[in-house]
Amino acid sequence: MKTIQGPAVFLAQFMGDTAPFNSLDAICQWAAGLGYKGIQVPTWESRLIDLEKAATSKTYADELRGKVASYGLTITELSTHLQGQLVAVHPAYDTAFDAFAPAAVHGNPAARTAWAVQQMKWAALASQNLGLHSHVSFSGALLWPFVYPWPQRPAGLVEEGFGELGRRWLPILDAYQEAGVRIGFELHPGEDLHDGITFELFLDAVNQHPCAGINYDPSHFVLQQLDYLTFIDHYHARIFAFHVKDAEFNPTGKQGVYGGYQSWINRAGRFRSLGDGQVDFKGIFSKLSQYGYDGWAVLEWECCIKSPEQGAREGAPFIQQHLIEVTAKAFDDFAGSTTDQASNRRLLGLD
């Protein structure tokens, strides 16, 4: 067993135009002051990182890592959730997802995909230059409009969709393998990779690639009514990162999993700050520790009620209290004795 690292915080939801959320120095000082030991960095946020420069200049990467370390912090992973999303986009979402890409590729899906692939490959090299071994992202989606279909999906549609997704991701995964970095895909509704079954379909499509893994986030499983503890039993060997995020599911006589097109505050399933939802974090931290996960526990704040500032203040001690210093000995070692085969056979009455 190994001890999980933490607490850390994903900075994406905290960045803004006012201090301390508008610069790397200020937000590092803020995070360290709250007790965080690590930061997960969104690579689309230019106030935090120049992704191309981090990929092409080891000097810049060293300076960036040194600046973060000066506040007593570690970069846990780089995130390319927005860029990964654009590796595969169904045409129904073209207009909405253009907002994630530079204006130069708007209205040009092929150019947008090429831009996203380049971003992903730069993130592999940037991670390598920063001394990181894990990365977090989204898979994108070609099949999501058909997740609950009417009329029924034609035969072969799912296989064709995952085949194409695999073809797009395999060269990216190869680039990550060359850089010594693994990708943890956040299994998320809206993505083609959103549960265990779809993750397995993807693994088949990329030939069980060793760098294809999971960014484990139980909140998305609560909203799908998936057993997030047994999920760890199935997929622990592929869990490369961990978002600590809470959620609750309170179905009514009027709505359930799909939420009735309501705002987050009025949905049956909604994200909450740590400790305010229904996620069994004691069970999660126990299982991850049992299976030897030694990556970071990273707060992702997305609460529909509590402010991000309060969520962040409460998040660091919450994670710290759930970290388990794994034991190096069995509780009954004191009663042990040395044995040999002859002694064992006598105990079994075989001699």
**Per-residue pLDDT tens digits for 298-343:** 999 999 999 999 999 999 999 999 999 998 877 666 667 777 888 8
The stretch 197-221 carries a mean pLDDT of 98
- pLDDT score of 304: 97
C-alpha to C-alpha distance for 99 and 349, rounded to whole angstroms:
75
For the chain, domain boundaries: 5-347
Q: Please list, residue by residue across 25-49, b when 16 or more beta carbons sit within 10 angstroms of its beta carbon and e when fewer do.
A: eebbbbbbebebbbbbbbbbbeebb
**Per-residue pLDDT tens digits for 240-291:** 999 999 999 999 999 999 999 999 999 999 999 999 999 999 999 999 999 9
- pLDDT score of 235: 98
Query: Structure tokens of 26?
Result: 């200020």
- pLDDT score of 330: 72
- pLDDT score of 155: 97
Q: Please list, residue by residue across 139-152, b when 16 or more beta carbons sit within 10 angstroms of its beta carbon and e when fewer do.
A: bbbbbbebeeeeee
Q: Per mean pLDDT, which range of 3-7, 182-186, 305-309, 338-342 is the poorest? A: 338-342
**Per-residue pLDDT tens digits for 134-158:** 999 999 999 999 999 999 999 999 9
Average pLDDT, the chain: 96
Angle at 69 between CA 64 and CA 71, to 5 degrees: 115
Query: First-to-last CA distance in the chain?
Result: 38
Residue whose entry in the numeric block shows the structure tokens 């779809």 = 198
Query: Structure tokens of 75?
Result: 């970069």
**Per-residue pLDDT tens digits for 28-43:** 999 999 999 999 999 9
- pLDDT score of 336: 73
Minimal CA–CA distance to 172: which of 221, 222, 127?
A: 127
Domain 5-347 belongs in CATH node 3.20.20.150: yes
Q: Which residues pair with 75 in a beta bridge?
A: 39
- pLDDT score of 30: 98
What does each C-alpha distance from 158 to 1, 96, 153, 188, 204 come to in angstroms? 38, 23, 8, 18, 13
